[in-house]
Amino acid sequence: MSSERLGLATLDALPSTIRPGYDPRDLAIGLVHLGAGAFFRAHQAMYTDAVVAGGDHRWGIFATSQRSPTVSDILNAQDGLYGVLERSTRNGARGAVVGAVRRAACASADPHAVVDAIADPAVHAVTLTVTEKGYRAQEGQLATTDPEIEADLAGRPPLTVVGQLVRGMQKRDAAGAGPIALISCDNLSDNGSVLRRLVHQFADRLNGNAAPRIGEYIERHVTFPCTMVDRIVPATTDADRADVERLLGVRDDACVVAEPFSQWVIADEFHGPRPAWERAGAVLTDDVAGYEQVKLRLLNATHSLIAYLGGISGYATIAEALCDPSIESAARRLIDDDQIPTLRAPNGLDLRAYREDVLSRFANPALGHTTAQVAMDGSQKLPQRVLSAVRQRRAAGAMPATAALLVAAWMRFLLGRDDQGRRLEVSDPLADRLVPLLSRPAPAREVIRDTVEISGVFGPDLCADEDLLDTIAAWFDALCNHGVAETLRGA
């Protein structure tokens, strides 16, 4: 391992093809990002890096981690620099150093620094990747009984994302700062509207006379563009870090790994300056929802199906699972028969070509994307990815058989053993409630009926759809008694 670490002092020693095409010290901070995890470093930061490499140096990034100081400490120790390693089967590994992050902080350790950064008049956008939990919402509304939200409303230095944003808006108002865009980049449906609602609800509940004024400021000066983001960014391993060190010649503790593909669709709702992200390949549009539905139903739903069938079959990675012809065939049936008929292609997007791109990306073995990682939190993901499409197909009089297989495979995966009897890594917030139902010795139809009703994720309409429940039960019974290979052989 190299004793030297990536930073400004070692930057000039890097190959010119790898280091940033600008001097990072020339950048002014014009963006704040909340949630400086691996996805941000491989996605939003790279789009901004391309913009500043084109000569617009207004868009350096102040990046924050929300709870743990680990990432912010590492970024600061490396002067904000880190490597991104793109892995593909066709081109091998290709690396680049990103220099757009100019400062980092941990919100839990220094909330004032985060608020001050948001309030800086030179900052014109705040991007967020804080996961669904970071919004502290209940059914799309601000969780006002959440102790952290209560504490932020009471006036402590804010530790919640919404609290940080609203306090930042208060300081911008006091400083006479101009327009700003607050841009959610998390996988929430209609994410900009969700963030707008939470910010307004927090502002409305502030004590004293601040609420009316800050609400007016937000209405006049703040926009909340919806977005759709897409890039596979697996967890960085020690082997990845070793590969990056060989490439750079110095140690990089903040490096990330990603696939070559990247997509960012942004609603064109800005009242002030912004980076020209479209020059880096982002799509500015008035139809983010169309792109979002395509991703959820064709990419995310298919990812889940492959993860569950692959995991139960004993495959460790998505790429391995997709090499199984029966699983690939099931993935294609899900897309073609059950999902594409529910979609309207945005701006002429070719859905069949999109399907091939998705399957090609999933087949990339260089990523090592595990079935266990993709299978996590299925109860939280299936409503958006597949159940909404199931409703449309049932309303049209069709039986979405492969979508029903996906639901059954999720339930079978929750039982925690693959077809060879080996333990599966199960992580789902409803597992403790559902596994006792799924594992009891009762007819499959009864098991499925009770599980669907008690899960709370299907809705009364699907719970009452006897034909759909029969189809799910038949798949579940086959998966439990015959395994994936035999079940798919007869599909």
Neighbour tally for 115: CB within 10 Å: 23
Number of domains in the chain: 2
Q: What region does 176 belong to: left with phi over 0, alpha with psi -120 to 50, or beta?
A: left
For 359, the 3-state DSSP assignment is helix
192 and 49, same structural domain?
Answer: yes
Residues in the chain where the model's pLDDT stays below 50: none
Cα–Cα distances in Å, from 125 out to 197, 217, 262? Answer: 18, 15, 21
Contacts of 277 (CB under 8 A, 6+ apart): 47, 48, 51, 264, 266, 284
Is there a domain that residue 1 lies in?
Answer: no
For 334, the 3-state DSSP assignment is helix
323 and 256, same structural domain?
Answer: no
Nearest residue to 435 via CA among 457, 455, 419: 455
**Residues 198-247: tens digit of each pLDDT:** 999 999 998 665 667 899 999 999 999 999 999 999 889 999 999 999 99
Find the CATH number of the domain harbouring 223: 3.40.50.720
46 and 194, same structural domain?
Answer: yes
294 and 282, same structural domain?
Answer: no
Alpha carbon distance 162, 170 (integer Å) = 12
pLDDT of 173: 95
**Residues 147-202: tens digit of each pLDDT:** 999 999 999 999 999 999 999 999 999 999 999 999 999 988 899 999 999 999 99
268 and 371, same structural domain?
Answer: no
pLDDT of 92: 80
Q: Which of 241, 256, 286 is the last residue of a domain?
A: 286
Is there a domain that residue 3 lies in?
Answer: no
pLDDT of 484: 98
Is there a domain that residue 31 lies in?
Answer: yes
pLDDT of 139: 78
pLDDT of 89: 80
Tell me the residue range of the domain where 305 lies. Answer: 289-489
- DSSP string across 406-470: HHHHHHHHHT-B-TTSPBP----TTHHHHHHHHTSSS-HHHHHHHHHHHHSSSHHHHHT-HHHHH
pLDDT of 23: 97
Q: Which of 219, 252, 286 is the last residue of a domain?
A: 286
Alpha carbon distance 83, 284 (integer Å) = 27
The pTM (predicted TM-score) of the whole model is: 0.86
Alpha carbon distance 156, 139 (integer Å) = 26
221 and 87, same structural domain?
Answer: yes
Q: Which of 230, 251, 286 is the last residue of a domain?
A: 286
Alpha carbon distance 197, 140 (integer Å) = 8
Is there a domain that residue 213 lies in?
Answer: yes
